[in-house]
Each structure stands twice: as structure tokens, then as C-alpha cells.
């Protein structure tokens, strides 16, 4: 190691202290402590090209402890990839590329959005899976890179991290290397307050290769990374014993350096101790920039050589197609379900998935140990395992949260389009990862089956009541609940064609009758979110149904017709898509002056947005019960008589909607 390495590490420390102090907000402790690790990794191992930060065969770097974002921002600036010094000076300010936690899409080089602890760790696992899958398909000449991440004590305490680490160990992801900031400090103080396990032994039990080093000994760090790279049959954990707030005379090794600025006086004292000029702010020696960027030409040559190999390879065009992220959804031959046939939408979803998988070779995914119930296995394909790297079925195990976070990593890596599945009720186990899919605009497809109290005998623990509406609250998440098999096809079509955000598909366990499209508008009408399914002249009431309750609304409309009451039925398959339509279309579907009644086997809260404050909703505002599904639905009032009675009531009250 050279004096330049020390200069680089201390420059990172100076930039991090100054940015946090200028913002009067942030986490200086981690960047101060991990600067030596970052210096070694970025200057000696990490493969990238600053002239093309999105180069597909670059090494991936994930800062899982996103609170230490100034470490990443400093490196991106020093390596010339994305950020300017002015960007660093605007740390945590409105519109800044340097947000409080790294956000994907704000600047090249930020591989993923890391905020909630453990998420980045699990994302990195997904990236490593994608690299293994693509390398097995295209060969090392076209796909040959590593996934590195840093994490902290907080990451390793989170359940999502444990789930992902277990999965990674089982999968023997040998190109995944984690550099643990082992500083034994969290916000509340020493980790001894809350954890006493041997973390290294835990990871060894997961099947990881584990080393421990002095996190400020740059030569030892380099040797450990080199050793980790030599172990190709296991992911690697390197415990880097560091001092949080390194260099701070009064806060080094203390929790007070974790989540608050050091203070003007302490910044000065720390700079003096590190040999930096205390009167300079955001100082970057020319020698540091020149030293880091000295090999940029070699980096560019590596990338250009890869480009040439792709151009010359018979598989190059397919790889480019995969990496584009665009899917040829028009090539999918979705099955056609005959009018009057009876099929659960989870079953029609299975048929749609098989058709999609046949036409889209980089569609991969799986279930949280529920593939037999979710019906999400790709038939004829093997499972992705250490001895079967081209397998398209991912056995996530009972790890819903890591499953979703791993899928985020898969799609962020590029080259594959992932889906994952579980029962709708277990969405809450994975909600933070789904939220991050939406925040990052990543097109993960979430398949949820057993979507209502029709689950029946499993009882209220397995019957989602509030879940659909809770999902609809997540910005940029489309929630689609189809009413029959042909709409399930269209739901999949929409999900696969949508490349700027995630889609949640909600499917039934119980059979639904396939609607006769000679009578009703085509199933493709759900592309606008909601459409008029059954129309009448001068409707007295509008019934709005979703999923299985569309059939309840249709039957109720027939009953009302027999009483001389004209009822329009609207299928609200996707509220988010309907909200995107122009005002004229919305009014054509939900006209003013006509009372409205919503029908959904879930909470009624939220439906006032569409029925009006004076409208009415038929739904379930309590937990379910253990009994046959049909009995539960009837007892809880999601039935034709209740819809008919509710429609009569809103008409009689003079509601104008």
C-alpha cells in the first residue's frame, strides 16, 4: 500500500465530514470508518469504466448501509463516474443527486436504492444470481463479473438479510463478496446491548466463506478480497474490524458519530488528526484524482474488448436483447378460455405464465415455497441450483421478504425479468421490498393468489381483508385483479409490457365463470383500468366490482333489472390504470349524477374515492372466519342480496355520486 492510498482514504473522510456538516444532517461515522475498505476495493479490484458507468459487464457495488451514502458519493465523484463537487456540496438538499440514502436512477453508479437496512444485502444476492444465470447461458467471455457489497451491524440484524444470506449460501454464489463494517456500534450504543451471537459462525453455518481483518489495514483488506475471489463455490463474508468515526478525537468508536454531524470544532480536530487542512472544505488533492483515474484508459479498453466479443459472438444479439430490458410481449400466444368455462384465475394465470415463458426466454422466477398453490412453476424448466445455473425456476423457500428483495436485485442487474409469488395475505411480509420496487421504477411482477376470504377454512390468518387497499396506497405500483381467465391473460400482458414499475397480480383460489365476450366488451379493456362491462340506457345506479366480485355485481344488476331498476356494471380491474385515463374517459365510465356502489371482498375504506362520500360500498371491514369460502362470503355479506339492497338504498336516498 502507498501514501496515495492513505491520501485517498482521508480525502473520502474529508468529503464525507464536510458534506454532512454543510447539510447539518447525515451519518459521518460509517464513511470515516470504511474509507480504507472503499479505497482498496475501488482502486484495486472493482471493474468499471467511468466513460460508460452502465457497462453491463461491470462489477456491481452495493452500499447496503445506505445511511453511509457519502462513502458512495465520494467514490463516484473521485472516480469520475457521475457526480460533481457541487453535487456533493448539495448533499441531502432538495433536488440533489446526493440524497440522504442512495437512490437508484439519481446518478450512474448507484446500483440500487438502499435505505431500510438489509435491503441492499438482499439486492446484491439477486444481482449475483443474475450474473450466474447469464454467465451459464452466454459463457464467461460475455458475462464475467463480481458483486461486492458493504454492510453494517444493522443490516446483519435484519430478518431480510438473514433470509437472503441463507439463500445465497445454499446457492453457492461464489462471485458475491460482502465487506462487513464490523464496528460493533448502532444508534443506541454498543452492539452488546442487543446481540451476542458469533456472526461469523452464523454465516459459516449458512455456507459462506468467512474471514476477519483489521478494517484499517489496507494490505490485509486487499489480501482478504483476493482470497475471497479465489473461493468460487461459496459467497464470502469479510468482517472488517473498524472504528466508527475513525480519526475523530472525541467521537471515534462512539455511537455519537453514527447519525449526526460531528460539529464544526470536531471536524476541524479530526482533519488535523488525519493530516488534512482544517481550513479547507471539500478539498480534493490533484494527486488523488490523478491516482484514482490513472488506469481509466485500461478500464475503457476492457470494456471495449467486451463490446468486441459481444459483437463477434453468435450469442451476442440475444444477450443484447436480454440486456435491453424490452420484452416481445406480442409474441406471447396466450390461451383463449371458452365462454362459460369455470376456472380459478390462479389456474388461468398458470396457463398465461407458461405461454409467456415459452416466448420470453429470460423470464425467470418462483414462489416462497407455494408453487403448488400459486401455480408459478415454469413447466419443462429446471430449478436454478448450484448444479443447474440455467434453471428458470427459483426456489426461494419460505422467505417472502428476501424473495422480493432478491427480485429487485435481479431486475436491477439487468438481463432477466423476474416474477415471484405467494399468497396475498403474505404481502405484508414483503411490503418494504415491494415499496422499493415502486420507488426504483423496477418492473418486478408480483403474483398473489388466494386473494380473498374465499380462502375459507384456513381462517382469518390467511384471509386478506385490508391487503388490496394497502397495496393500492403504494405509489407507482399497479394492482390488477382480473375477473376471469381471459382477463388474467391481459393482466399478465400488461405486467410484462410495463417496464417503469412493478405490477401486483391478484388471483382467486375459487373458480370463476369465463365471461362471454360476444356479450361483453373484450378482456383487453382492462388496459384502461376500468371499463363498462354491462351497460344500460339511463342507468339508475353504477355497480363497481373487482375480480371475483365482478360476477356478484353482474348478478345483482340482473336482479335489479327484474325490479325495473337499470344498473350499469363497471369492472375496476386496476385502479391505478383507471386513474391514468383522461377526465372524459373517467366520466364516460362513472358518469356524474348517478349513484355508485362498490363491491369487493375486502375493506370498504378507500372506495369513497370512486363512489363518493355519499355512495356506498359492499365489503368486509372486519377479519374473516374459518369456514368454507362460500359460507364466509355469505355470512359477511358480500353477496347479491346485499348488493341489491344497497343499490336500492343509494337510489332511494337521492345520492348523485
Active-site residues, by number, are 400
Alpha-carbon distance of 547 to 616, in angstroms, equals: 18
Q: Which long-range CB contacts under 8 A does 648-653 form with residues at least 24 apart? A: 648/560, 648/565, 649/616, 650/541, 650/595, 650/596, 650/597, 650/614, 650/615, 650/616, 651/540, 651/541, 651/565, 651/595, 653/595, 653/614
CB neighbour burial string for 201-229, b if at least 16 within 10 angstroms, e if fewer: ebbeebbbbbbebebbbbebbbebbeebe
**353 touches 379 (CB < 8 A):** no
**649 touches 641 (CB < 8 A):** no
SS3 147: strand
State the pairing for strand pair 445-449/417-423: parallel
* Alpha-carbon separation of residue 454 from 305, 403, 600, 606, 634 (angstroms): 57, 26, 12, 21, 10
**526 touches 480 (CB < 8 A):** yes
Instruction: Kindly report the backbone phi and psi dihedral angles of residue 534, in degrees, each rounded to the nearest multiple of 5, phi listed first.
Output: -130, 120
Which grid cell sits at 95? Answer: 433536488
Other CB atoms within a 10 A radius of the CB of residue 510 amount to 18
* Residues in Cβ contact with 564 at an 8 Å cutoff, skipping those fewer than 6 apart: none
Crossing angle for the helix pair 345-359 and 485-497, to the nearest 10 degrees = 40
Strand ranges (DSSP E) for 15-108? 60-63
Which of 314, 359, 376 minimizes the C-alpha distance to 137? 314
Q: Which residue has the cell 453457492?
A: 172
**237 touches 208 (CB < 8 A):** yes
Which grid cell sits at 653? Answer: 336516498
**125 touches 54 (CB < 8 A):** no
Alpha-carbon distance of 488 to 449, in angstroms, equals: 12
* Alpha-carbon separation of residue 155 from 70, 110, 118, 517 (angstroms): 18, 18, 4, 52
User: What are the start-end ranges of the H helices in 102-240?
Assistant: 119-138, 153-157, 159-171, 199-206, 218-230
- Which DSSP string corresponds to 471-535? HHTSTT-EEE--SSHHHHHHHHHHHHH--SS-EEEE--SSEEEPP-TTTS--GGGGGGSEEEEE-
Alpha-carbon distance of 380 to 411, in angstroms, equals: 23
**443 touches 417 (CB < 8 A):** yes
Alpha-carbon distance of 174 to 191, in angstroms, equals: 29
**157 touches 441 (CB < 8 A):** no
Q: How many residues does the chain have?
A: 657
**12 touches 78 (CB < 8 A):** yes
Amino acid at each position: 500500500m502507498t501514501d496515495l492510498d492513505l491520501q485517498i482514504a482521508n480525502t473520502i473522510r474529508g468529503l464525507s465530514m464536510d458534506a454532512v456538516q454543510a447539510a447539518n444532517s447525515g451519518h459521518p461515522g460509517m464513511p470515516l470508518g470504511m474509507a480504507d475498505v472503499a479505497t482498496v476495493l475501488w482502486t484495486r479490484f472493482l471493474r468499471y469504466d467511468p466513460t460508460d458507468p452502465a457497462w453491463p459487464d461491470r462489477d456491481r457495488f452495493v452500499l447496503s448501509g445506505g445511511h453511509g451514502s457519502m462513502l458512495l458519493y465520494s467514490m463516484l465523484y473521485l472516480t469520475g463516474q457521475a457526480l460533481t463537487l457541487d453535487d456533493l456540496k448539495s448533499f441531502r438538499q432538495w433536488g440533489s443527486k446526493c440524497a440522504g440514502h442512495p437512490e437508484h436512477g439519481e446518478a450512474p453508479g448507484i446500483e440500487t436504492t438502499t435505505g431500510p437496512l438489509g435491503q441492499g444485502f438482499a439486492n446484491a444476492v439477486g444481482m449475483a444470481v443474475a450474473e450466474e444465470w447469464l454467465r451459464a447461458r452466454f459463457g464467461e467471455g460475455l458475462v464475467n463479473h463480481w458483486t461486492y457489497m458493504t454492510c453494517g451491524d444493522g443490516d446483519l440484524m435484519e430478518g431480510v438479510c438473514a433470509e437472503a444470506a441463507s439463500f445465497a449460501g445454499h446457492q453457492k454464489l461464489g462471485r458475491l463478496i460482502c465487506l462487513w463494517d464490523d464496528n460493533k456500534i448502532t444508534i443506541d450504543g454498543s452492539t452488546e446491548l442487543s446481540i451476542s451471537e458469533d456472526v461469523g459462525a452464523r454465516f459459516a453455518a449458512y455456507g459462506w466463506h468467512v474471514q476477519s481483518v483489521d478494517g484499517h489495514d489496507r494490505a490485509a483488506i486487499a489480501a482478504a478480497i483476493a482470497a475471497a475471489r479465489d473461493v468460487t463455490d461459496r459467497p464470502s463474508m469479510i468482517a472488517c474490524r473498524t472504528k466508527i468515526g475513525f480519526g475523530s478525537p472525541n467521537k471515534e468508536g462512539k455511537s455519537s458519530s453514527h447519525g449526526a454531524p460531528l460539529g464544526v470544532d470536531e471536524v476541524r480536530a479530526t482533519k488535523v488528526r488525519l493530516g488534512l487542512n482544517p481550513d479547507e472544505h471539500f478539498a480534493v488533492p490533484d494527486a488523488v484524482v490523478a491516482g484514482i483515474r490513472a488506469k481509466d484508459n485500461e478500464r475503457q479498453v476492457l470494456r471495449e474488448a467486451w463490446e468486441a466479443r459481444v459483437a463477434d459472438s453468435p450469442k451476442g444479439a440475444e444477450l443484447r436483447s436480454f440486456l435491453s430490458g424490452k420484452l416481445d410481449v406480442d409474441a406471447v400466444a396466450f390461451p383463449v378460455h371458452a365462454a362459460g368455462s369455470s376456472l380459478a384465475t390462479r389456474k388461468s394465470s398458470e396457463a398465461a405464465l407458461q405461454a409467456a415463458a415459452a416466448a420470453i426466454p429470460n423470464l425467470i422466477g418462483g414462489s416462497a415455497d407455494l408453487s403448488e398453490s400459486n401455480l408459478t412453476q415454469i413447466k419443462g424448466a429446471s430449478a436454478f441450483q448450484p448444479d443447474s445455473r440455467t434453471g428458470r425456476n427459483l426456489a426461494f423457500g419460505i422467505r417472502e421478504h428476501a424473495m422480493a428483495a432478491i427480485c429487485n436485485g435481479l431486475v436491477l442487474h439487468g438481463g432477466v425479468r423476474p416474477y415471484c409469488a405467494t399468497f396475498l395475505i403474505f404481502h405484508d411480509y414483503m411490503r418494504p421490498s415491494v415499496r422499493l420496487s415502486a420507488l426504483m421504477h423496477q418492473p418486478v411482477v408480483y403474483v398473489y393468489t388466494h386473494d380473498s376470504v374465499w380462502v375459507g377454512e384456513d381462517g382469518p390468518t390467511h384471509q386478506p381483508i385490508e391487503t388490496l387497499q394497502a397495496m393500492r396506497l403504494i405509489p407507482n405500483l399497479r394492482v390488477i385483479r382480473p375477473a376471469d381467465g381471459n382477463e388474467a391473460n391481459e393482466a399478465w400482458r400488461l405486467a410484462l409490457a410495463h417496464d417503469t414499475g412493478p405490477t401486483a397480480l391478484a388471483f382467486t383460489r375459487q373458480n370463476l365463470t369465463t365471461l362471454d365476450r360476444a356479450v361483453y366488451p373484450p378482456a383487453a379493456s382492462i388496459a384502461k383500468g376500468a371499463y363498462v362491462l354491462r351497460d344500460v340506457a339511463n342507468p339508475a345506479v353504477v355497480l363497481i366490482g373487482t375480480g371475483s366480485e365482478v360476477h356478484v355485481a353482474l348478478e345483482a344488476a340482473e336482479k335489479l333489472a327484474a325490479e325495473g331498476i337499470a344498473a350499469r356494471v363497471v369492472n375496476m380491474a386496476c385502479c391505478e390504470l383507471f386513474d391514468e385515463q383522461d377526465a372524459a374517459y373517467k366520466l364516460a365510465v362513472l358518469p356524474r349524477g348517478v349513484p355508485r356502489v362498490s363491491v369487493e371482498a375486502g375493506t370498504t375504506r378507500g372506495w369513497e374515492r370512486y363512489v363518493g362520500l355519499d355512495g356506498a360500498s359492499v365489503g368486509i371491514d372486519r377479519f374473516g372466519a374459518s369456514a368454507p369460502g362460500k359460507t364466509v362470503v355469505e355470512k359477511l355479506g358480500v353477496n347479491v342480496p346485499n348488493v341489491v339492497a344497497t343499490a336500492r338504498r343509494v337510489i332511494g336516498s337521492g345520492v348523485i355520486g
